[in-house]
Amino acid sequence: MTRIFAIANQKGGVGKTTTSINLAASLAATRRRVLMVDMDPQGNATMGSGVEKDGVAASTYEVLMGDKDIAEVLVRSEECGYDILPGNSDLTGAEVGLLEELAREVRLRKALDSIKDRYEYIFIDCPPSLNMLTINALVAADAVIIPMQCEYFALEGLTALVGTIEKIRKFLNPHLRIEGLLRTMYDPRNNLATEVSAQLLDHFGDKVYRTIIPRNIRLAEAPSHGLPIIRYDKTSRGALAYLALAGEMLNRADRAA
């Protein structure tokens, strides 16, 4: 059974794309069949997967607009061990283009329906804003993974995102749920981070992953080399954290089965 996750946060700079790449690569390393979908016009998930975003023949944009079949656009990332539906700046055009299209919110879901049986896990890297691209991702997903830093403003952004997820569930995707909240760029020496972490656990309980992603220089360097952290420095704290997160996800899935 295919599981589709949107990795989303309306706040930028929280480790969303880093999580998309490294969680997908960690699961691929366990011989799971994985697809990454880059829905961000910045194309960072594409570049971080070792694929030149401006060198691809087509991108997620053509799929959303109905100009290309999704199977034609998929690219293999040998470095990461998964397939990717690449994204680039063309996606900015989808914002305007989709406004005039019928069933614009379900374009990605319809596209994924035709190929999802090939994969066990599909991760959708969302842009850091609530727009038609993010809505398409949330409508296509079974669940949402929310990476967030443990800081004051992150809690405000989280409230807005949870509200958005509730609206999508009510009107467009009744099966959508929050899979988990992931604490990223965590520094245990920071008192505020510790306080916010405690608030998250109080409010969301088991929805908060036990795995915490630390601040890690090697983790920050890896995308510039087009490599996941497990290929760039598999002994780093960042690599060990994402492998632990993949294990935690698999254990959750086993318990739910």
CATH assignment at residue 56:
3.40.50.300
Q: Residue 159 has what pLDDT? A: 85
19-44 pLDDT, tens digit per residue, is 999 999 999 999 999 999 999 999 99
Rounded distance between C-alpha atoms, residue 5 and residue 180, angstroms: 10
- Token look-up 């194309």 returns 43
Q: Which residue range forms the structural domain that includes residue 82?
A: 3-256
| Count of domains forming the chain | 1
If pLDDT is split at 50, 70 and 90, which confidence band does 191 have?
Answer: confident
207-227 mean pLDDT: 95
Q: Residue 101 has what pLDDT? A: 82
Using a pLDDT cut of 70, give the percent of the chain over it.
100
**166 pLDDT exceeds 90?**
yes
Q: What is the pTM of this model?
A: 0.95
